[in-house]
Amino acid sequence: MNTHFILRGFGRYAPERVMTNADLEKIVDTSDEWITTRTGIKERHIAADDQAASDMAYEAAKVALADAGMDASELTHIVCGTFTPDAMVPSTACRIQEKFGIKGQACVDIAAACSGFVYALETARGYIALNPDSKVLVVTSEVISRRMNWEDRTTCVLFGDAAGAAIVTAGEPGEGPEIKDIRLAADGSLGDLLTVNGGGSRYAYKLGETVGEEFFVQFQGREVFKHAVRNMCGICETVLKDNGMVKADVDVLIPHQANWRIIDAVGRKLEIPAERVFSNVDRYGNTSAASVPVALSEALDTEFVKKGDTVLIPTFGGGFTWAAALIQF
């Protein structure tokens, strides 16, 4: 098998409403200074009350399809990474399909938290490897504001809402950015360090019950931080080694945008100069599975990433899950 996996188009969407650190100062006991120095975040987008994950995914997907010069009817699969789906059933991928007015495609959601985009890319590679005619929409969308405890300053300042998308098909080398390799990993024994438990079958609510704190994102920040840096660096070294490459071969690093200190620490450990590490966390906060495609599409639009660049993308999220993608632009 010698299939080449080509990324045909990229798209991103962020809701209109912007919430600054100054806005947060009015809601919880925090400060722009604390948020900026601990996280690098200055503002984040917040979905409108009537916007769900599929609405934002649809917007990002339309841009990606236009960028690829494709019509939605050409798609064979829709893979949606999200931990804030429209509903338990139907899947958000099915809702996206419905919005496009198309039928018949395989539609599936991927639950890998902040690693969702790279996990979804690998799923796309699997479909294409099995059937080279596959044309896969990989889309990630998060409405994390709905799962934020707006009374908890330790979590609510960190996240934002957004969606990102890419189209993956088989192709010839040089036809477009090529996914050279992907590595996925997880450690379920550390799952309790980052959770959204409420509403699941273990923490179900009875009719009429009000939600508790477990309905929202909860985590042990320092532990998450430590594991994130260690595992993102480790999986990057693995994917480079397996492809006969060294750190100096990486032109651009686009890590999951959780926190500037995590991004900076990963860049330093991988010895990638700061000017080659992409970050937009200051304007989006942590948008979980959406962060990588939003960052990728901005990095392309601003020519931070250029044709010929080797781009390394490490991610880390709840589960714990982590992943790395190696893309040749």
Residues that bind ligand COA (CB under 6 A): 30, 34-35, 38-39, 114, 153-154, 157-158, 219, 221-222, 224-225, 228, 258-259, 286, 316-317
Distance CA 55, CA 52 (A): 5
Closest distance of CB 23 from ligand COA, Å: 13
Enter the DSSP assignment of 248: G
Q: Is 156 a catalytic residue?
A: no
Q: What is the DSSP string of 207-223?
A: TTPPP-GGGS-EE-HHH
Catalytic choice (4, 256, 259, 280):
256
Q: Is 256 a catalytic residue?
A: yes
Catalytic choice (94, 114, 233, 236):
114
Backbone dihedral region for residue 328 (phi beyond 0: left; psi -120 to 50: alpha; all else: beta): beta
Which C-beta is closer to ligand COA: that of 35 or that of 75? 35
Which C-beta is closer to ligand COA: that of 202 or that of 222? 222
Closest distance of CB 14 from ligand COA, Å: 18
Q: What is the DSSP string of 109-169?
A: EE--GGGHHHHHHHHHHHHHHH-TT-EEEEEEEE-GGGG--TT-HHHHTTB--EEEEEEEE
Closest distance of CB 252 from ligand COA, Å: 21
Q: Which residues contact 63 (CB under 8 A, 6 or more apart)?
A: 9, 10, 11, 12, 13, 165, 297
Q: Which residues contact 32 (CB under 8 A, 6 or more apart)?
A: 20, 21, 22, 25, 42
Q: Is 197 a catalytic residue?
A: no
- Provide the token pair at 161: 């809402």
Closest distance of CB 262 from ligand COA, Å: 6
Which C-beta is closer to ligand COA: that of 64 or that of 313? 313
- Which residue, judged by CB position, is nearest to ligand COA in the bound state? 221
Enter the DSSP assignment of 247: G
**CA angle 25-28-33, nearest 5°?**
45
Which C-beta is closer to ligand COA: that of 28 or that of 70? 28
Closest distance of CB 46 from ligand COA, Å: 16
Which C-beta is closer to ligand COA: that of 135 or that of 256? 256
Tell me which residues are annotated as active site.
Answer: 114, 256, 286
